[in-house]
C-alpha cells in the first residue's frame, strides 16, 4: 500500500495540522487536528463515514478547538492516507468488523496521550463506530454524538423480539427482501448489498465519468441541494416501503452506483454555486479515492450485510449506551429514516439511557457537518458544555 505524506496544509483551514499516529492496532493513522498546542485540553474525536475522509470535518475542527478542545479527525481503517489495512476484496475482512474499528479509536485516544475523550462524534457509518465506542468503553468515551441513527446491540437469538432489521442497528437480509425488490414494477436492489459485491469497487473507481464527477453527482444527490430529498418515516421493512427512497439507497436493479447518480449530475452553474463543497475541496476526495479505490470502505458494508462475527456483538445484548447522547442530522437526509424504526428506537431508554435530544438541521441533507457547519458547531458546543456537568 502506497504511503503518502500528510495532507498538505494548502488544502486545510488555518490552524489545522495533518500528521500520522503510528502503531495503532496495526495501523498508521492519518489524522487532522487542532487545539493540540495546549496540553490538558479535553479530546473530541470526529469519525467520518462513506465515501468520506477526515477532511469531511474541516469546517468544524477549528471552531471546536477555539472553544477549548483538542479536536482530532482520523482517516479510518480503509480510508485515505491511513495505511496498514488490507485492500484486497479477498483479504482480511474480519479486521473491518465493528469492534475492531472501535478498538482502532481506543488506541488512538491512548496514542494522543489522553485517558479519555470528552466526546466521540460519528457521521454516517462513523456513527456506528462512535456508538460502539461509547457502548463498550463508556469510561473512555464520555459522551456521544450520532449523525446517523443507532438502534442498539443485537439481542441473543433466543430472545430476539425486535424486528430483524433493527437487531444490529442496521438493515439485515430478512425474508426475501431482495427478491421482492427485484420483482417490483421498477426492479430495484438495496445499495448496501450492492456495495458488498465484488464489482462495486471497480464500478466506482473506473467509472465512465471519472471518480471526481461520480463523487460530485453522489454528494449532490444526497444533499439538500437536490430537490428529490424530502424524507419521511417508512412504515415497514418491505419492498414497497423501501422503494419510496431515492435511487442512491434503493437502486435500479441493473445499474451501478455511478450510473445511478449520473442522471442527477448538477449543472456547471449548480457546481459553481455549491459553496459547501468547492471544486478544490472535491479534488481532495477525488485524489485519494482515485489512488486507493473504494474497497476499504466497502469492506465495512460487507461485514454488516454478511453478519461477520455478529456473535461477538451479541455479547452486549441488553446493554444500553449510558453516556450523554445526542443526534444531529440534516432535515433533508433520507439516512435518518432508511431503516424503519431506528430513529425512534435510538431515542428510547432501551438504546440510549441518557439521550439529550434529536436535532434535524434545515438546509442540510446527508452531509450535515459540511452543508451547515455553523449550526452543527453550535449544537455540538451546547451539548459538550451540558454533558460536562
| Of residues 359, 376, 378, the one with CA closest to residue 367 | 376
Q: Where does a domain end: 300, 323, 352?
A: 300
Residues 106 and 21 in one domain: yes
Cβ neighbours for 171, distance < 8 A, ≥ 6 positions apart:
165, 190, 192, 237, 305, 338, 339
Catalytic residue among 48, 123, 220, 366: 366
384: its cell numbers:
459538550
Residue 330 lies in a domain: yes
Residues paired with residue 121 on neighbouring β-strands, in sequence order:
46, 145
Query: pLDDT tens for residues 94-143?
Result: 999 999 999 999 999 999 999 999 999 999 999 999 999 999 999 999 99
Q: Is 13 in the same domain as 127? A: yes
**109 and 30, same domain (yes or no):** yes
Write out the residue range of the structural domain in which residue 154 sits.
Answer: 9-159+310-387
Closest C-alpha among 167, 157, 338 to residue 237: 338
Residue 144 falls inside a structural domain: yes
- 130 and 96 inside one domain: yes
Residues 119 and 183 in one domain: no
- The pLDDT of residue 315 is 96
How many Cβ atoms are within 10 Å of 37's Cβ, its own excluded? 10
Domain boundary among 273, 300, 327: 300
* pLDDT less than 70: residues of the chain: 1, 159-175
Residue 309 CA to residue 148 CA, distance in Å, equals: 22
Q: Which of 300, 323, 355 is the last residue of a domain?
A: 300
Instruction: Tell me, yes or no, if 22 is annotated catalytic.
Output: no
Residues 286 and 175 in one domain: yes
Task: Please indicate, yes or no, if residue 282 is contained in any of the structural domains.
Answer: yes
Question: 168 near 153, Cβ under 8 Å?
Answer: yes
E strands present in 102-170: 119-123, 144-147
Say if 81 falls within a structural domain.
yes
In a domain, residue 1? The reply is no
Residues of 24-35 as b/e, b for ≥16 C-beta within 10 angstroms? Answer: bbbbbbbbbbbb
* Total count of domains within the chain: 2
What CATH number did the domain enclosing 355 receive? 3.40.50.1820
Contacts of 113 (CB under 8 A, 6+ apart): none
Provide the 3-class DSSP secondary structure of residue 24.
Answer: strand
Q: Are 83 and 3 in contact (CB under 8 A)?
A: yes
Q: Are residues 143 and 238 in the same domain?
A: no
Is there a single domain that holds both residue 141 and residue 86?
yes
- Residue (of 238, 256, 248, 383) closest to 324 by Cα position: 383
Position 244 in a domain: yes
Q: 176 in a domain, yes or no?
A: yes
Mark whether 171 and 282 lie in a shared domain. yes
Active site residue 225: no
Residue 146 and residue 174 in one domain? no
The pLDDT of residue 175 is 58
pTM: predicted TM-score of the whole model, two decimal places:
0.96
**φ, ψ dihedrals at 154, nearest 5°:** -70, 145
The angle subtended at Cα 267 by Cα 261 and Cα 271, nearest 5°, is 95
The reply to whether 289 and 317 lie within a common domain is no
Task: Give the active site residue among 86, 124, 203, 225.
Answer: 124
247, 332: one domain: no
Q: What is the pLDDT of residue 233?
A: 98
Per DSSP, the three-state class of 164 is helix
Instruction: Look at residue 321 and give its three-state secondary structure.
Output: strand
In a domain, 305, yes or no: no
Amino acid at each position: 500500500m502506497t504511503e503518502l505524506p500528510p495532507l498538505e496544509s494548502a488544502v486545510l483551514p488555518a490552524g489545522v495540522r495533518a500528521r500520522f499516529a503510528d502503531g495503532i492496532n496495526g495501523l498508521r493513522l492519518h489524522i487532522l487536528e487542532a487545539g493540540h498546542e495546549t496540553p490538558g485540553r479535553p479530546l473530541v474525536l470526529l469519525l467520518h463515514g462513506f465515501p468520506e475522509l477526515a477532511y469531511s470535518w474541516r469546517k468544524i475542527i477549528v471552531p471546536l478547538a477555539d472553544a477549548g478542545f483538542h479536536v482530532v479527525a482520523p482517516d479510518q481503517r480503509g480510508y485515505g492516507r491511513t495505511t496498514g489495512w488490507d485492500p484486497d476484496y479477498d483479504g482480511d475482512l474480519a479486521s473491518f468488523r465493528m469492534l475492531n474499528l472501535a478498538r482502532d479509536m481506543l488506541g488512538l485516544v491512548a496514542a494522543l496521550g489522553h485517558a479519555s475523550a470528552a466526546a466521540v462524534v460519528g457521521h454516517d457509518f462513523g456513527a456506528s463506530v462512535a456508538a460502539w465506542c461509547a457502548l463498550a468503553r463508556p469510561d473512555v468515551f464520555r459522551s456521544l454524538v450520532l449523525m446517523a441513527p443507532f438502534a442498539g446491540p443485537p439481542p441473543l437469538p433466543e430472545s430476539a423480539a425486535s424486528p430483524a432489521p433493527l437487531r444490529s442497528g442496521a438493515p439485515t437480509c430478512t425474508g426475501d427482501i431482495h427478491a421482492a425488490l427485484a420483482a417490483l414494477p421498477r426492479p430495484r436492489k438495496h445499495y448496501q448489498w450492492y456495495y458488498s459485491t465484488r464489482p462495486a469497487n471497480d464500478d466506482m473507481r473506473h467509472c465512465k465519468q471519472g471518480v471526481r464527477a461520480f463523487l460530485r453527482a453522489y454528494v449532490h444527490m444526497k444533499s439538500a441541494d437536490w430537490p428529490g430529498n424530502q424524507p419521511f418515516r417508512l412504515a415497514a421493512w418491505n419492498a414497497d416501503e423501501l422503494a419510496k427512497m431515492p435511487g442512491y439507497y434503493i437502486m435500479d436493479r441493473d445499474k451501478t452506483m455511478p450510473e445511478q447518480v449520473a442522471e442527477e449530475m448538477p449543472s456547471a452553474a449548480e457546481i459553481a454555486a455549491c459553496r459547501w463543497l468547492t471544486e478544490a475541496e472535491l479534488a481532495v476526495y477525488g485524489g485519494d479515492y482515485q489512488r486507493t479505490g473504494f474497497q476499504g470502505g466497502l469492506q465495512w458494508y460487507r461485514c454488516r450485510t454478511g453478519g461477520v462475527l455478529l456473535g461477538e456483538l451479541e455479547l452486549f445484548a441488553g446493554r444500553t449506551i449510558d453516556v450523554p447522547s445526542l443526534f444531529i442530522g440534516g432535515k433533508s437526509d433520507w439516512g435518518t429514516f432508511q431503516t424503519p424504526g431506528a430513529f425512534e428506537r435510538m431515542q428510547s431508554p432501551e438504546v440510549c439511557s441518557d439521550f439529550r435530544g434529536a436535532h434535524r438541521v434545515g438546509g442540510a441533507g446527508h452531509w450535515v457537518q459540511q452543508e451547515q457547519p455553523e449550526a452543527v458547531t453550535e449544537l455540538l458546543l451546547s451539548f459538550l458544555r451540558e454533558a460536562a456537568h
